[in-house]
Amino acid sequence: MARPEIDQAALAQALRAFASVVGAGNVFSEEQDRVEYSDHFAPEEQAEAHQPSAAVAPETAEEVRAIVRIANQYKIPLWPISRGKNFGYGGAAPVLKGSVILDLSRMKRIEVDEKSGTVLVEPGVGFFDLYDYLQEHNIPLWMSVPGNSWGSVAGNALDRGVGYTPYGDHASRICGLEVVLPDGDLVRTGMGAIGEGATWQLYKPGFGPSWDTMFCQSNFGIVTKLGLWLMPEPESVLGLNVDVDNPEDIAWLVDTLGPMRREGILQQSPSIGNWLRAAATMTTREEWARPGERISDAAIAAIRAQFDIGWWGVTLRFYGPLEITEATLRVAQKAFDDKPVFKMGQTRWVKGDAPEGSPVTGVPVTFPLSNANWFGGRGGHLGFSPVLPVDGDIALRYFNRNYELHNEFGFDYHPSFAIQERSMNNINQLLFDRDNPTMVANLDTMFRTLVREAASEGYAEYRTHISYMDVVADTFDFNDHALRRLNEKVKTALDPNGIVAPGKSGIWSAGTNETAA
Ligand SMILES: Cc1cc2nc3c(=O)[nH]c(=O)nc-3n(C[C@H](O)[C@H](O)[C@H](O)COP(=O)(O)OP(=O)(O)OC[C@H]3O[C@@H](n4cnc5c(N)ncnc54)[C@H](O)[C@@H]3O)c2cc1C
């Protein structure tokens, strides 16, 4: 079945009606606006295939409700964004071309409960906004931030984003949502469903079924408030920065860190990155290889020497009272005693010291964005992020195969392996030059190959780009795609007109589905 077309006359009427709700100054429908809200990290053709027709920016939940009612009336799909910085996964752009972006970035209220260590944010609250708020009010709570912290606390958590402190699994720290449903109803989840819910941000399950996770990576509603737990500022953060010398060291590194993470010796999920992850923010490819030429082993060695980095590197941090972190550090160090470590450095932060100033201490940063310049031209990247078991042999095998594929298709391998308690997220940034047609053509073929090969081993992505949501959803094929049928039943019941983010995570209302490309 073909994807629905947007009726231009209905769109024009809807935009006028939106303007009556939010004011004409908050409806954006010029060509330049469409460019602003498109995917800046995608190849031209792909960006074009997902270009929105306009954007509307409400300031309150009541305005969101009014917009949703109008969207139903004129059958105009809305794509909600909090700040729209989902680079590598689609930026602000929608799955369905011509959708209207529901830009929630004007909704910026912050309510912190210092004693309980929680915050209630509106979607437009950026990581920098919340950081500034905590600093200005001298509140001893730490955030967990993603490597690119330009985005929003809510949008990132709703997309199951990750950070680098013990609170780094952001979706798991959500406690209580306020949501506008596709029919315009307003609901509060968990204990927020009590009139004046006094424990909304304190107790996740609520009474009866729990709904918070239903609104993560879904298109079942528009979140207008999100509760989140924040980490009490620890007394100390001690750390080890470990670098290893050889590509195959990934196997023992994973097998060393995995048990420590499972046992709770490691409270954060350490992310093992290769030399390129470190180097791509500090140099560009043209300094080390001619265009089209493979990066030689000699060039890799030279890059590593210049920046003093291993083939792989990982940052371990231990949080809490000094007596405990000192003991934990000793235990962790011992685990490396008989290992061929290339380089190991210690870090130490104790309350009162100047902040370490990086995501491991919850400080927002944007410098990783500069890795898009690696190839030159107008850079971008596509995220490929399968979930694997925490197993050194699997990591090594997976690394070897993907390294080979990158070389075959003319890409440089930029992976990380984030060790969680029971799984490992292998986050690959497929860096490319948007002005290089060969790379652009190869990117799609390589991505589909990666998805297909992962699926053949029983693995799939935890999060994907808007262009591949159907493709990835298709790999969840138990019982002839029973999960898709369930998602579509729920979607169709809540959103028969397919108004909210059609196609998100491969979920379409009945009658608007397209067979996965
Ligand atoms: C170099 C680099 C490094 C990165 N590092 C990380 C990292 O370490 N960890 C990480 O997680 N990400 C990372 N990212 C990806 C991305 O930049 C961040 O996740 C960013 O926070 C997402 O943008 P946002 O917060 O503005 O969310 P948005 O773009 O606003 O939204 C994200 C998704 O959630 C949906 N959504 C947003 N708000 C709502 C709402 N209110 N209701 C319903 N649905 C909603 C949107 O439709 C969208 O699909 C990185 C990207 C780059 C380029």
pLDDT for the residue numbered 356: 84
Cα of 161 to ligand 1 centre, how many Å? 7
Q: What is the pLDDT of residue 517?
A: 37
For residue 516, the model assigns a pLDDT of 37
d(CA 205, CA 186) in angstroms, rounded, equals: 19
Same domain, 421 and 382: yes
Instruction: Determine whether the shortest distance from the Cβ of 428 to ligand 1 is under 6 A.
Output: no
| pLDDT at residue number 53 | 98
Atom of ligand 1 nearest to the CA of 368: 1
Q: Does the C-beta of 206 come closer than 6 Å to ligand 1?
A: no
Beta bridge partners of 223: 179
Please report, for the domain that includes residue 308, its CATH number. 3.40.462.10
Is 422 marked active-site? Answer: no
Identify the active-site residue in 37, 74, 89, 413: 89
Q: Among the three residues 232, 247, 265, which one is the final residue of a domain in this structure?
A: 232
317 lines ligand 1 (CB under 6 A): no
pLDDT of residue 515: 44
Inside any domain, residue 147:
yes
Q: Are residues 200 and 131 in the same domain?
A: yes
Domain that holds residue 404: 236-466
H-helix segments, 217-283: 250-263, 275-279
Same domain, 99 and 114: no
Measure 351 CA to ligand 1 centroid, in angstroms.
31
List pLDDT tens digits, range 285-309. 999 999 889 999 999 999 999 999 9
Query: Is 471 contained in some domain?
Result: no
Q: Which residues on neighbouring strands pair with residue 66, listed in sequence order? A: none
Which of 159, 465, 467 maximizes ligand 1 atoms within 8 Å of its Cβ, making it the mutation to test the pocket? 159
pTM of the model: 0.96
Name the active-site residue from 133, 403, 459, 462.
462
Tokens 């498109």, residue? 38
Kindly state whether residues 256 and 352 are assigned to the same domain: yes
Mean pLDDT of successive 10-residue segments in the chain (517 residues)? 81 98 98 96 93 98 98 98 97 98 98 98 98 98 97 98 98 98 98 94 96 97 98 98 97 98 97 97 95 93 97 98 98 96 97 91 95 93 96 96 94 96 96 94 96 96 97 98 98 97 96 52
Please check whether residues 62 and 176 belong to one and the same domain.
no
Report the 10 Å Cβ neighbour count for 246: 11
201 lines ligand 1 (CB under 6 A): no
Q: Which of 158, 226, 504 to mutate to test the pocket of ligand 1 (most atoms within 8 A of CB)?
A: 158
User: Is 155 near ligand 1, meaning CB less than 6 Å away?
Assistant: yes
Do 377 and 254 belong together in one domain?
A: yes
Burial-class residue 182 by CB neighbours within 10 Å (0-12, 13-18, 19+): buried
Tokens found for residue 48:
């074009």
**Residues 245 and 345 reside in one and the same domain:** yes
Q: Which residue out of 34, 188, 285, 463 is catalytically annotated?
A: 463
Cβ of 84 less than 6 Å from ligand 1: yes
> In this structure, are 89 and 40 located in the same domain?
yes
State how far the Cα of 329 lies from the Cα of 326, in Å rounded to an integer. 5
103-136 pLDDT, tens digit per residue, is 999 999 999 999 999 999 999 999 999 999 999 9
User: Could you tell me if the CB of 412 is within 6 A of ligand 1?
Assistant: no
Q: Are 286 and 200 within one domain?
A: no
Q: Whose CA is nearest to atom 27 of ligand 1?
A: 155
Would you say residue 372 lies in a domain?
yes
Q: What is the pLDDT of residue 196?
A: 84
| CATH number of the domain residue 184 falls in | 3.30.465.10
* Known catalytic residue at 133: no
Which of 246, 196, 178 is CA-nearest to residue 400?
Answer: 246
Q: How far apart are CA 43 and CA 51, in angstroms?
A: 12
Q: Is 89 a catalytic residue?
A: yes
For 174, list phi and psi in degrees, rounded to 5: -70, 135
Record the tokens describing residue 147, joined without a space. Answer: 């490597």
Q: Can you read off the two tokens belonging to residue 384?
A: 């490929």
The answer to whether residues 160 and 265 belong to one domain is no
**Tokens 């959500």 map to which residue?**
174
